[in-house]
């Protein structure tokens, strides 16, 4: 995914970082966690939202793929086991607000994104 992003937008600042340990000492205008955030457990997602908020400039945005409802599921991708978890959209909104972010969009199972559920928030 990062190779594709780098090829399409070579001037971007694309990084591969463990979201659970995000401590970069700098802030950004935007953070994207596509097809990654939902692999964290619900408690890790709550913690990670706080870490992301600390790394955003005022007015900066975060874009995440999440589940369309609260729950945990396991499955396989390419023959490998995978774990997915999600908070409810209402709980995401509360957690975002508690961390100085405002939910600006939530699309559940959006056909334009191959049926991903997409959340966007902005730092106040």
CATH number of the domain that residue 113 is part of: 3.40.50.150
Asked if the structure places residue 90 within a domain, the reply is yes
Domain count, the chain: 1
Q: Structural domain of residue 79, as residue ranges?
A: 31-123
Report the alpha-carbon distance of residue 123 to residue 106 in Å, rounded: 16
The answer to whether the pTM exceeds 0.85 is yes
Q: Where are the alpha helices (DSSP H) in the chain?
A: 2-8, 42-54, 89-98
37 — phi, psi (to 5°)?
Answer: -55, -40
Tens digits of residue pLDDT in 77-105: 899 999 999 999 999 999 999 999 999 99
Asked if the structure places residue 50 within a domain, the reply is yes
Asked if the structure places residue 20 within a domain, the reply is no
* Contacts of residue 29, Cβ cutoff 8 Å, sequence gap at least 6: 56, 57, 59, 60, 61
Asked if the structure places residue 92 within a domain, the reply is yes
Asked if the structure places residue 7 within a domain, the reply is no
Report the alpha-carbon distance of residue 92 to residue 2 in Å, rounded: 26
Asked if the structure places residue 35 within a domain, the reply is yes
Asked if the structure places residue 4 within a domain, the reply is no
Largest CA distance in the chain: 42
Asked if the structure places residue 6 within a domain, the reply is no
Tens digits of residue pLDDT in 26-60: 999 999 999 999 999 999 999 999 999 999 999 99
């Amino acid at each position: 995914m990062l190779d594709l992003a780098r090829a399409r937008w070579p001037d971007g600042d694309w990084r591969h970082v463990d979201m659970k340990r995000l401590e970069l000492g700098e802030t950004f205008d935007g953070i994207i966690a596509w097809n990654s955030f939902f692999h964290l457990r619900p408690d890790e997602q709550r913690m990670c939202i706080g870490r992301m908020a600390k790394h955003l400039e005022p007015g900066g945005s975060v874009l995440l793929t999440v589940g369309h409802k609260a729950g945990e599921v396991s499955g396989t991708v390419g023959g490998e086991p995978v774990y997915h978890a999600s908070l409810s959209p209402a709980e995401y909104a509360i957690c975002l607000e508690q961390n100085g972010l405002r939910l600006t969009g939530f699309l559940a199972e959006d056909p334009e994104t191959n049926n991903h559920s997409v959340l966007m928030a902005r730092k106040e």
